[in-house]
Chain A
Amino acid sequence: MTSAPFRSIASRLRWGVPIVAAAVVASACSSANSVNVQHNKSGGGAGGYHYKIAMVTHGGAGDSFWSIVKAGGVQAGKDMGDDFTYQSNGDPTQQSQLIDAAVNQKPDGLIVSMANPEALKAAIQRAVAAGIPVVTINSGQAQSKAYGALSHFGSDETVAGQAVGTGLKQAGVKSVICVVQEAGNVALEQRCAGVKSTLGGTVTNLQVDNNNLPGAQSLIQAKLQADKSVDGVVTLGAQVASVAEAAIAGANSTAKLATFDLNADVAKAVQDGKILFAVDQQPYLQGYIAVVMLTQYKANLNVLGGGLPVLTGPNLITKANAAAVLKLAAAGTR
């Protein structure tokens, strides 16, 4: 097998190199282009606790929500001087295996999110039996204490859904599409159910794929065109919210938009009035507080919550406070 074909391709590619170099040099690396600020790891606090804290969640790898939770945990680890690790898997069986793996490394504290509590019960109880303090975040509030966790930090999805339903009802909305971007996700289904319970109108779920946002836009737009009576859209993730915004415009619809979770684009849209409000459960705080509490428990046997879950939301972002939140959202901490 000779190298002739590669030589011929390489010789053609050789043309590309000077062109690219010229393009790069000719274009100014101007500051007018860098509209985003590069984020390097910020300096941390001087805490010297040196505890090993492990977090195992059910978040997907590219999920913006969970990346904020992780950011909170990482920062708290720095501030406390702890050794923080993060693992995640959306599949309950695999998440359970990750918990076991973490337990084998004998951490000083374990943080778990329970989207499917039953599947994780055994692994969590093994952790508790091994003497590791466990804290749950985000999902599984009802079973947290029963499984032996010290505290739960999160926002009840149903309560958050109800808040959204109420907010939309006050805005005069009667018929809502609830856009579910991850099929089979328990928390998302609970949000839609919560909306339905307080809206007093109709709520229809619409499945889209978070990994194919242009496709999602088509589908939302199609639904709005198909059913002209819809006057409200609820999205359950920040990335889908932007797309829903475009879909509403594309369908020439006057539907109002509300969303769960936050990112810079959502904050901006709320500020501009394009999104009515966003419900933020402060994922950064969930991650941060969990690490801090475990550190304080190990150091000082402190427990937060008094046996009841500690709520980090629902926290409404409206036009009034959007501007202030925007910069923080751009930094990836809100």
Chain B
Amino acid sequence: MSVEVTEQPPPASESGSDAPMLEIRNMTKTFGSVISLSDISTTVRAGKVTCVLGDNGAGKSTFIKILAGVHQPTKGELFMDGKPVLFHEPRDALDVGIATVYQDLAMVPLMAIWRNFFLGSEPRKGFWPLKRFDKEKAKKITREEMRDMGIDIRDPDQPVGTLSGGERQCVAIARAVHFGARLLILDEPTSALGVKQSGVVLKYILQARDKGLGVIFITHNPHHAYPVGDRFLLLKRGKSLGDFDKSDISLTELTGMMAGGAELEQLAHELEQEGDTETSAIGHEIAADIGTGTTS
């Protein structure tokens, strides 16, 4: 499935700046004798989406953890706005405006939505030693943000665990955006979602982008990545297959590089040879996808 998008004109702020918001140069990470990432480079600009694509084992989660401050790169450098940076712990990354939305969502299922929303950044009022968690403010803001997202909550105190997968993702994204993230990193947000919910999430990615945030969108699904991405970094077994601008690559080329075009061609050929019509029809489709490069 693919979603077509009418392109919005690029926001004015982006065109003049020369230094990208985040630049990753020759990043390598080894754990003992295992080389998780090898010589990876890419950039992220404000108001643009950089997609990091790769199958399982490509090194995507290590990549995010380094950007989020959980690990430090063995070799290579990170630059924010042209200046070199090094994150020792998640707090450091948060402080410069990098917000990460993890696959497991970094949400505590038993806690209420409003508690999760402000976790780690709780608003306070009052004087020491009686500084209180400003619960009224927290609930109010949470309710507003949820309403803006079109999520119906009957009870503001309901635990996050009672929301559906897509709703939880949106809460997480809204949280990151609300707290003034400059750069949003999304770790496989659509992987566990159905078609409709994936569409909702992709919409929000675009909204975040339109607000001027930089977005890194990690996924293994090129059909989700292509409509929203401006830049594509492909990872395969820790190495970079290339860092492409959207104008330089098509969806089918992207898919082909990810899947290993040769294997798909062979599969299509085999299926076409099958006796029954249904299977060979599938083979035709795959051949069409990779062979002629049509857009549906």
Contacts and interface: CB of A to CB of B under 8 A. Distances in A.
Contacts of A2: 88-89
Interface residues of A, number: 2
A69 B89 CA distance: 60
B243 to A, nearest CB: 32
A294 B88 CA distance: 71
B174 to A, nearest CB: 29
Interface in A1-32: 2, 4
Contacts of B88: 2
A209 to B, nearest CB: 36
A2 B88 CA distance: 9
Contacts of B89: 2, 4
Q: Is the interface of B mostly helix, strand, loop or mixed?
A: loop
A15 to B, nearest CB: 15
Interface in B113-146: none
A247 B189 CA distance: 66
Interface in A184-224: none
A4 B89 CA distance: 10
Interface string A250-273: 000000000000000000000000
Nearest to B89: A2
Contacts of A4: 89
Interface in B60-100: 88-89
Nearest to A1: B89
A4 B69 CA distance: 15
A10 B102 CA distance: 33
B89 to A, nearest CB: 6
A268 to B, nearest CB: 45
A41 B270 CA distance: 94
Nearest to B88: A2
A307 B208 CA distance: 98
A4 to B, nearest CB: 7
A217 to B, nearest CB: 36
A60 B89 CA distance: 51
A4 B91 CA distance: 12
B237 to A, nearest CB: 29
Nearest to B91: A4
Nearest to A2: B89
A2 B70 CA distance: 11
B80 to A, nearest CB: 21
Interface string A228-246: 0000000000000000000
A118 B126 CA distance: 70
A287 B89 CA distance: 63
A250 to B, nearest CB: 37
B250 to A, nearest CB: 45
B223 to A, nearest CB: 40
Interface string B257-293: 0000000000000000000000000000000000000
A4 B88 CA distance: 11
A4 B92 CA distance: 13
A166 B71 CA distance: 80
A24 to B, nearest CB: 27
B204 to A, nearest CB: 34
A2 B89 CA distance: 8
Interface string B16-30: 000000000000000
A279 B89 CA distance: 68
A2 B92 CA distance: 13
B268 to A, nearest CB: 50
A229 to B, nearest CB: 53
B128 to A, nearest CB: 14
A11 to B, nearest CB: 17
A234 B195 CA distance: 78
A4 B90 CA distance: 13
A3 to B, nearest CB: 11
B71 to A, nearest CB: 12
B76 to A, nearest CB: 22
A155 to B, nearest CB: 60
A114 to B, nearest CB: 55
Interface string B141-171: 0000000000000000000000000000000
A83 B6 CA distance: 96
Nearest to A4: B89
A172 B88 CA distance: 80
B36 to A, nearest CB: 20
A228 to B, nearest CB: 49
Interface in B166-181: none
A272 to B, nearest CB: 47
A2 B72 CA distance: 13
A200 to B, nearest CB: 63
B65 to A, nearest CB: 15
A61 to B, nearest CB: 41
B134 to A, nearest CB: 24
A203 B33 CA distance: 77
B87 to A, nearest CB: 12
B113 to A, nearest CB: 28
Interface of A: 2, 4
3 contacts: A2-B88, A2-B89, A4-B89
> When A and B form their complex, which 3 residue pairs have the shortest distance between CB atoms, in order from nearest?
A2-B89, A2-B88, A4-B89
